[in-house]
Amino acid sequence: MTNWDDYRYFLAVAEEGSVSAAARRLETTQPTVGRRIAELEKRLNAKLFQRSHHGYHLTELGELVRDRVKVINGESQWIEHKVSYIDKSPIGRVVLSTTEDIGYFWLSNLLGNFHAEHPEIDLDLIIGYHAVDIINGEADIALRVGDPRSQDLVGRCLGQVRFGLYASPEYLARNPEPTCVEDLAQHNIIESVRQMNNFPQTAWLRENSDGARVSFTCDNIMVELSAVEAGLGIVALPVYMISNTANVQQILKEDFDLALDLWLLTHRDLIKIPRIRAVIDFLTEHVHDRLIPERR
């Protein structure tokens, strides 16, 4: 079996010209260097040096081996340097999972600043409502609303996302604005389905609007925003989605006051990797700033 360390001894003797000088360079003993050279020649079944009273001189074959070993040694040093650099520097690809609304309303506005601060980190954004499997490597980081439900993940709660009930002025012009939860039974409801079916805001609206007409069903929160703006009915949405639109208004503020934790999560084995740490620190600072206006 090849012991690449033997080639380090070989290169030292080839460059220093003697076993004694190579031993000093390698901080070892002359017998050790001599033994490693002899073992290498035996394994290769080749004579690499001519021995004399004046030192060790490379044979023609030894010169060929030296040239290749120098190349390999240089590549080995490059690999060690590069790995050390990557391990200690925020560089490389980071896969971040979040929902479409957070991606659109928050992250899209932050990507320019992040790239300016960390130009050597490549972000790969996975958009969806399903919980990606961080433990098995589907993503490095997740930004999720609600209970993280995993003891194998580590992270922090960035704050709370508030939700409200909304309808368009056009809809409320055609239908009397509800003044209590019981009035919802007389209204049109935009209902979340499929992967959004068990969301807390979906469950609350379903439970408190028994008898209402479901005028529109959807499994995409961005489409739900468009639907409520178009006057199709009442829907529950995060407050931050509404802050920049005048096409809807909040109703039943005192009756519907839902707030869910926003979690930034990763695997415990990834938390100290510089590029992962850089993304987490950036999101912690900037997303937290955007959550402050949502608090009461």
pLDDT (tens digit per residue) in 159-197 = 888 899 999 999 999 998 988 989 888 899 898 888 777
In percent, how much of the chain has pLDDT > 90?
Answer: 30
pLDDT (tens digit per residue) in 241-262 = 887 666 889 999 888 888 888 9
Domain count, the chain: 2
Instruction: Please indicate, yes or no, whether residues 24 and 136 belong to a single structural domain of this protein.
Output: no
Which domain covers residue 10, as residue numbers?
Answer: 4-81
Question: Is 56 within the bounds of a domain?
Answer: yes
Instruction: Please indicate, yes or no, whether residues 159 and 276 belong to a single structural domain of this protein.
Output: yes
CATH of the domain at 151: 3.40.190.290
pLDDT range class, residue 151, cuts 50, 70, 90:
low
- Report the C-alpha gap between 231 and 136 in whole angstroms: 43
CA distances from 262 to 72, 113, 141 (A): 50, 21, 13
Instruction: Please indicate, yes or no, whether residues 149 and 249 belong to a single structural domain of this protein.
Output: yes
Instruction: Please indicate, yes or no, whether residues 60 and 135 belong to a single structural domain of this protein.
Output: no
Which parts of the chain fold into alpha helices (H)?
Answer: 4-16, 19-26, 30-44, 60-88, 100-102, 108-117, 169-174, 200-207, 221-229, 274-291
- Report the C-alpha gap between 14 and 69 in whole angstroms: 11
pLDDT at 63: 92
pLDDT at 107: 86
pLDDT at 294: 44
- Report the C-alpha gap between 276 and 141 in whole angstroms: 8
Question: Is 110 within the bounds of a domain?
Answer: yes
Question: Is 91 within the bounds of a domain?
Answer: no
Question: Is 215 within the bounds of a domain?
Answer: yes
Instruction: Please indicate, yes or no, whether residues 24 and 76 belong to a single structural domain of this protein.
Output: yes
Instruction: Please indicate, yes or no, whether residues 147 and 177 belong to a single structural domain of this protein.
Output: yes
CATH of the domain at 46: 1.10.10.10
Instruction: Please indicate, yes or no, whether residues 245 and 193 belong to a single structural domain of this protein.
Output: yes
Question: Is 204 within the bounds of a domain?
Answer: yes
Question: Is 88 within the bounds of a domain?
Answer: no
Instruction: Please indicate, yes or no, whether residues 104 and 53 belong to a single structural domain of this protein.
Output: no
> Which pTM value belongs to this model?
0.66
pLDDT at 51 over 60: yes
CA distances from 134 to 96, 161, 261, 269 (A): 10, 23, 19, 11
pLDDT at 99 over 60: yes
For residue 156, the SS3 value is: strand
Instruction: Please indicate, yes or no, whether residues 60 and 167 belong to a single structural domain of this protein.
Output: no
Instruction: Please indicate, yes or no, whether residues 240 and 139 belong to a single structural domain of this protein.
Output: yes
pLDDT (tens digit per residue) in 23-49 = 998 889 999 999 999 999 999 999 999
Tell how far CA 151 is from the center of its chain: 18
Question: Is 86 within the bounds of a domain?
Answer: no
Beta bridge partners of 56: 51
